[in-house]
Amino acid sequence: MLKIQDLSFRVDNDGQDKEIIQNINLEIPAGKLFVITGPNGGGKSTLAKLIAGIEKPTSGKIIFNGEDITEKSITERARMGIAFAFQQPVKFKGIRVLDLIRLAAGKKLTVTEACVYLSSVGLCAREYIDREVNSSLSGGELKRIEIATVLARQSLLTVFDEPEAGIDLWSFGNLIEVFRQQREEIKDKTILIISHQERILNIADEIVVLDSGFVRTQGRKDIVIPSLIGTSSAVKECRGAQKGEC
């Protein structure tokens, strides 16, 4: 499904090169739910953007279903079956939720069909289907609508960049159930989640720990999680969830 070969990414930092991603090698097979975790600043979100095509690597290759996509654009990757969900969802003034889900699905879904995706992320479809995707929606609402559109796309590879960011405790619990269900149904599809939430790590098939731009470890959750809990800030439950901070 996805192969990352000797991938590096650096930026100019006051005249000096700063390595964000350093010679990463990963292989993520189809039909799995992978979680990439690690400390803040370790390169997790950068790696997600490199996979989606938002950023271009300094060196190395990204292979998707046997094809080199390193130089392909975001649009080309989307057409090949790669979807990306941002940490901060994009607003679309003048577009209704129904229109957005139809665009994501690539066909004119019925209202009932579109409502299934909204219901799966814990939104009352009747209240949201005709809403405009703009600043009248809260961060948590926008996040869940974005996830509904990603689900509607039925992509081969879906990348979620910290999907728990900005949503409340109830929504987070519902989100876990969405991912758990997707994990049971993905078959030939792959889900890649960037997260440091233990509840998300617990539903992974495999976990990759990224630290200072390097892959520190990779393996099954039953092996990786015990090595993280109590010894690293990479895995944490959001204590401010009740206040809507998670």
Which band of pLDDT confidence, cut at 50, 70 and 90, is reported for residue 230?
low
Instruction: Say yes or no to pLDDT of 88 above 80.
Output: no
Instruction: Say yes or no to pLDDT of 237 above 60.
Output: no
Q: How far apart are CA 202 and CA 58, in angstroms?
A: 33
Mean pLDDT of the chain: 84
Which band of pLDDT confidence, cut at 50, 70 and 90, is reported for residue 51?
very high
Structure confidence at residue 34 (pLDDT): 94
Structure confidence at residue 170 (pLDDT): 66
Structure confidence at residue 95 (pLDDT): 87
Instruction: Say yes or no to pLDDT of 174 above 50.
Output: yes
Average pLDDT of the segment spanning 8-25: 88
Exposed/middle/buried for residue 232 (C-beta within 10 Å: 0-12, 13-18, 19+): middle
pTM (2 d.p.): 0.82
User: What percent of the chain lies above the pLDDT cut of 90?
Assistant: 41
